[in-house]
Amino acid sequence: MKILTLETTCDETAAAVITDELNVLSSVVASQDELHQKFAGVVPEIAARAHLERCLPVIHEAVHKANLELSDIDAVAVAHMPGLAGSLLVGVTAAKTLAWLLDRPLIGINHLQGHIYACQVAFKKPIFPCIGLIISGGHSTIYHCRSPFDFEPLGGTIDDAAGESFDKVASMLGLPYPGGPSLSKCALNGDPKAYAFPRPFLNDSSRLDFSFSGLKTAVRYEIAGPGAVDFKSLVIDDQRKADIAASFEQAVVDCLVGKTMLAMQKTGISRVCVGGGVAANRRFREALEQRVAAEGGELMIAPMHLCTDNAVLGAIAIEKIKAGQVDDLSLDAVPGLIRS
């Protein structure tokens, strides 16, 4: 079976062709970074319009790279939740149209579940049950994942997501968008102990939540102090900038790793699966690998190209087909909360 999967939950227009044996025949991603760069963040209206322009070319390229014709596709899957309303509608409409034209099954998938399932695609072995950690620009959540569709939230951010905080701090430091990779690159030359930034909830063993808003504010005060400020006019020498970036990054990593380890202790589950754009962060990957190994656990982090949004996440549709969970043309976009 060959499944065409579509991803338009935020600002990446993506399509992939995947077999029921988890072989990725093609994967195409059209980034919108250049469109949102001057705003230092994703503008929903711009994202939706860009999806409209790019959706059909991306689908065509994915099918072509798989050496197939559209008629060779056996099912169509689309991430229909959660995400930006306009962006989701473009992908859902395209998927429904293709399913109707080709007379093929339609499968709606949960984008967040797909991020964790990417680990099963990458490692080619069952991953459930596991502790699932999703960390990206919109999500910072820990789940008890009993099956591909049974995700129990154990904790998450009560304010900003980790990736959002990376972008905002990078902007304050005058680093280019997207902020996460830029800040991490800057932090390579910095001292992670130079500034004692707060680590909210890290020592609270009663909860598995994150809070990055206060950390972000602490960095702001370190850079410019309280009150209104034009960050574009600030001049920060390179070493101080690197030290702030490294200290901020280390604080985020400590919180993410610490709460993941606490989730392992509370549930007794030793396998940890991680997805989302922040999972590409080198300092985070190394720290979590060391801590999980020290506890005798098993860590699965999706490879770099599967951490950020892409249509290979739609491979979870295979599990839905096996379970007989096929949708009809009433499938709708479910925007919901970006931080869920």
Judgement on whether residues 161 and 291 belong to the same structural domain of the protein: yes
**Span 162-168, average pLDDT:** 94
Judgement on whether residues 144 and 255 belong to the same structural domain of the protein: yes
Residue 167 assigned as binding residue = yes
39 vs 107, residue with greater confidence? 107
Judgement on whether residues 192 and 209 belong to the same structural domain of the protein: yes
Judgement on whether residues 148 and 68 belong to the same structural domain of the protein: no
Residue 297 assigned as binding residue = no
Judgement on whether residues 107 and 235 belong to the same structural domain of the protein: no
Q: Which residues contact 262 (CB under 8 A, 6 or more apart)?
A: 205, 208
**Span 199-203, average pLDDT:** 96
The pLDDT, as a whole number, for residue 339 is: 39
Q: For 245-256, how does the pLDDT look when each residue is reduced to its tens digit (9 = 90+)?
A: 999 999 999 999
Judgement on whether residues 65 and 109 belong to the same structural domain of the protein: yes
The pLDDT, as a whole number, for residue 17 is: 98
The yes-or-no verdict on residue 200 having pLDDT over 50 is yes
In the chain the beta strands, taken as DSSP E runs, fall at 2-7, 12-19, 24-31, 75-81, 106-110, 130-135, 140-147, 150-156, 271-275, 298-301
Q: For 55-110, how does the pLDDT look when each residue is reduced to its tens digit (9 = 90+)?
A: 999 999 999 999 999 999 999 999 999 999 999 999 999 999 999 999 999 999 99
Enclosing domain of residue 100: 2-116+308-322
- Inside any domain, residue 334: no
- Inside any domain, residue 247: yes
Judgement on whether residues 138 and 272 belong to the same structural domain of the protein: yes
The yes-or-no verdict on residue 330 having pLDDT over 70 is yes
% of residues, the chain, pLDDT over 70:
99
CA 102 to chain centre: 31
CA distance 185 to 241: 11
Judgement on whether residues 170 and 63 belong to the same structural domain of the protein: no
Q: Band the pLDDT of 124: cuts 50, 70, 90.
A: very high
- Inside any domain, residue 330: no
- Inside any domain, residue 337: no
Q: Band the pLDDT of 337: cuts 50, 70, 90.
A: low
Q: How many domains does the chain have?
A: 2
CA 312 to each of CA 25, 67, 127, 136, 151: distance values in angstroms, whole numbers, following the listed order? 10, 17, 16, 17, 19
Judgement on whether residues 188 and 67 belong to the same structural domain of the protein: no
Residue 237 assigned as binding residue = no
Residue 91 assigned as binding residue = no
- Inside any domain, residue 133: yes
The pLDDT, as a whole number, for residue 228 is: 73
DSSP, collapsed to helix, strand or coil, labels residue 285 as helix
Judgement on whether residues 271 and 210 belong to the same structural domain of the protein: yes
CA distance 131 to 265: 11
Q: For 217-270, how does the pLDDT look when each residue is reduced to its tens digit (9 = 90+)?
A: 999 999 988 877 777 778 899 999 999 999 999 999 999 999 999 999 999 999
- Inside any domain, residue 256: yes
The yes-or-no verdict on residue 210 having pLDDT over 50 is yes
Residue 109 assigned as binding residue = no
Q: Band the pLDDT of 41: cuts 50, 70, 90.
A: confident
Judgement on whether residues 166 and 260 belong to the same structural domain of the protein: yes
Task: Please provide the average confidence, as pLDDT, over all residues in the chain.
Answer: 95
Q: Band the pLDDT of 340: cuts 50, 70, 90.
A: very low
- Inside any domain, residue 332: no
CATH of the domain at 134: 3.30.420.40
**Span 298-319, average pLDDT:** 95
Q: What angle do CA 143, 44, 109 make, to 5 degrees?
A: 40
% of residues, the chain, pLDDT over 90:
90
Residue 136 assigned as binding residue = yes
- Inside any domain, residue 242: yes
**Cβ neighbours of 288 (radius 10 Å):** 23
Residue 138 assigned as binding residue = yes
Judgement on whether residues 67 and 140 belong to the same structural domain of the protein: no
